[in-house]
C-alpha cells in the first residue's frame, strides 16, 4: 500500500470533518439547541470526502473516514464548550487560550448525553460503510467489503 494514495483522502476527510464541526457549533450557538443528527452528518461528510478522493477504497480509507468523523465531532463539541465558557463574553478567539483547552477534558463527560452517543455511533457506522458503498457504485472498490 502506497502512503501517497492516502494523503488526499486523509486531508479531504479532515477538512470535511473540521468544516462539519464548525457548522455544528454554529448551529448550536445560533439556535442554543444541539441538533445531534449533525454529528451523524459529519460521519457522512468525512466518508464522502474519502470516497471522492480515493482511487480505490480500502479499509485504511474507511478507518481514515471514521477517525476524521470522530475528530470533527470532538471539535464541534469543543467549539460549543469554548464558546459558551468564554467566547460569549471574551470573544471567539479566547476559546483557544491554553487555560480553556486545559479545562476541556474536565467537562468532556458532561458534553455527551445518551443521544449524543447514539449519533456518534451512527456517525462511526456511516463513516465506515459509506466509502465502500460509494466506491462500489463507481466500480472502484479494491475488494468487496460487506457493508454490514
Kindly report, residue by residue over 37-46, the tens digit of the pLDDT: 999 999 999 9
Q: What is the mean pLDDT of residues 54-72?
A: 92
Residue 1 has pLDDT above 70, yes or no: no
CA 18 to chain centroid, in Å, comes to: 7
Number of CB atoms found within 10 A of residue 101's CB: 12
Q: What is the mean pLDDT of residues 20-26?
A: 93
Residue 140 has pLDDT above 90, yes or no: no
* Inter-CA distances, 80 with 84, 124, 143, Å: 6, 21, 39
Task: Note the pLDDT of residue 20.
Answer: 95
SS3 108: helix
Q: Which of 10, 35, 121, 105 is nearest to 70 (CA)?
A: 121
The backbone region for 32, taken as left when phi is positive above 0, alpha when psi lies in -120 to 50, beta otherwise, is left
- The CB-side HSE value for 95 (13 A sphere, CA atoms) comes to 19
| 8 Å CB contact between 59 and 113 | no
* Inter-CA distances, 47 with 1, 65, 86, 99, 121, Å: 20, 5, 33, 33, 14
Q: What is the mean pLDDT of residues 94-106?
A: 81
Q: What is the mean pLDDT of residues 38-59?
A: 92
What phi and psi values does residue 134 have, to the nearest 5 degrees? -65, -40
pLDDT band at 62 (very low <50, low <70, confident <90, very high): very high
Residue 143 has pLDDT above 60, yes or no: no
- Lowest mean pLDDT of 26-35, 108-117, 135-144, name the range: 135-144
- Lowest mean pLDDT of 59-63, 85-89, 95-99, 143-147, name the range: 143-147
Q: Which residue has the cell 467549539?
A: 79
Cell triple for residue 1?
500500500
Q: What is the mean pLDDT of residues 75-82?
A: 88
Residue 141 has pLDDT above 50, yes or no: no
pLDDT band at 86 (very low <50, low <70, confident <90, very high): confident
Amino acid at each position: 500500500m502506497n502512503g501517497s494514495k492516502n494523503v488526499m483522502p486523509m486531508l479531504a476527510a479532515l477538512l470535511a470533518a473540521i468544516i462539519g464541526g464548525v457548522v455544528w457549533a454554529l448551529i448550536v450557538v445560533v439556535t442554543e439547541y444541539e441538533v445531534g443528527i449533525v454529528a451523524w452528518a459529519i460521519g457522512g461528510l468525512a466518508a464522502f470526502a474519502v470516497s471522492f478522493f480515493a482511487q480505490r477504497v480500502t479499509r485504511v480509507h474507511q478507518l481514515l473516514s471514521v477517525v476524521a468523523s470522530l475528530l470533527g465531532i470532538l471539535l464541534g463539541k469543543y467549539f460549543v464548550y469554548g464558546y459558551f465558557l468564554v467566547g460569549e463574553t471574551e470573544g471567539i478567539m479566547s476559546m483557544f487560550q491554553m487555560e480553556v483547552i486545559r479545562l476541556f477534558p474536565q467537562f468532556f463527560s458532561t458534553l455527551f448525553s445518551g443521544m449524543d452517543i447514539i449519533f456518534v455511533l451512527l456517525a462511526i457506522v456511516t463513516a465506515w460503510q459509506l466509502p465502500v458503498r460509494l466506491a462500489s457504485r463507481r466500480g472502484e472498490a479494491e475488494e468487496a467489503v460487506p457493508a454490514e
